[in-house]
Amino acid sequence: MSTPRIRTLLVDDERLARRGLELRLAAAPDVEIVGECENGREALEKVAELRPDLMFLDIQMPGLSGFDVLAQMPQDAVPVVVFVTAFDRYAIDAFEARALDYLLKPVEDSRLMLALDRVRDHLKTREQVQQHARLMGLLADVNGAGEIDADALVERVKGVVPRYPDILPIKTGRETLRVKAAEIDWIDAAGDYMCIHVGKQTHVIRGTMKDLEQALDPDVFQRVHRSAIVNLRRVRKLRPHANGEYFLTLDGGQELKLSSVVTRRPPTNVGSTPRALA
């Protein structure tokens, strides 16, 4: 099986800079240069036309800067971005603009190869996430996906304190599965489905993160990423990663990325490690 090609767009107003990148990228057999642009307007048109996987984007260009290009690009069309510039003062801004990496001119071969390794890892992870969503959708089509039994939930919490139930009723056809909330390890989104992980079992339901957030106790369950909710009592450790990112390791060995933005209120009665996540 042939190695997937990384379809790449070069954007720089200096022809020699584009040529230099082209020559260096020739050493990477999985990189295919599908186009070149000398300004931001061309870049917007080429991205819409070619849908590249990767874009090397100069920051300082006449007219639209590299930051302007990203700001005007539809979110669903943005490729992986590696900024290229002669000025290191843009480094922080580049990462805030969600660039995967940042190269200084003149670009060193070793530094370029390191950036490509990061690009490969990122694209592989993204493909795994997309495949996971497709598989969950297929599983739901074949076996039928459940849904939160709202009526049963209301009956359980009516007039009861605390308001968050210890049982999460999941309705599948005529049956209702009773899942103990305390036994849920974590929850992740896969397209239009939610995957509730309980030990070695995964329950697939149709729903949204918001639905589950409202059904679960925020002192125990916290949304640590836009597509993941974790049982804070299952967190074993928190470790730093590149670019200020953090990863949680759960009791079962799963690793989840911790977003810099937590959407729920901080926990109030769990251990010191979960408090650090808020």
d(CA 160, CA 215): 14
pTM, full prediction:
0.52
Q: Which residue has the tokens 């790449």?
A: 8
Separation in Å, CA 109 to CA 56, 106, 145, 151: 15, 10, 50, 62
Query: What pLDDT was estimated at residue 120?
Result: 92
Distance CA 182, CA 132 (A): 25
| CA-based max dimension of the chain | 72
Predicted local distance difference test score (pLDDT) of residue 262? 46
Helix and strand numbers, DSSP H then E, in the chain: 8, 16
How do strand 235-240 and strand 246-250 relate by DSSP bridges?
antiparallel
Strand order in the sheet with 186-190: 201-206, 193-198, 186-190, 228-231, 221-225
Instruction: Indicate the angle between helix axes 109-143 and 15-25, nearest 10 degrees.
Output: 70
Which residues make Cβ contacts (< 8 Å) with residue 210, sequence separation at least 6?
A: none
The number of angstroms, rounded, from the C-alpha of 100 to the middle of its chain's C-alpha atoms is 12
| pLDDT digit string (tens) for the chain, length 278 residues | 566 899 999 999 999 999 999 999 999 999 999 999 999 999 999 999 999 999 999 999 999 999 889 888 887 788 999 999 887 776 656 656 667 888 988 899 999 999 999 999 888 877 665 655 555 555 555 455 666 555 555 555 445 445 677 888 887 777 778 889 899 999 988 777 888 899 888 888 888 888 888 888 888 888 888 888 999 888 888 877 666 667 888 888 888 877 654 444 444 333 333 333 33
Task: Write phi, then psi, for 69 (nearest 5 degrees).
Answer: -60, -50
If you write DSSP's letter for every residue of 186-216 in order, what string do you get? EEEEETTEEEEEETTEEEEEE--HHHHHHHS
Q: State phi, psi for 227 to the nearest 5 degrees.
A: -125, 25
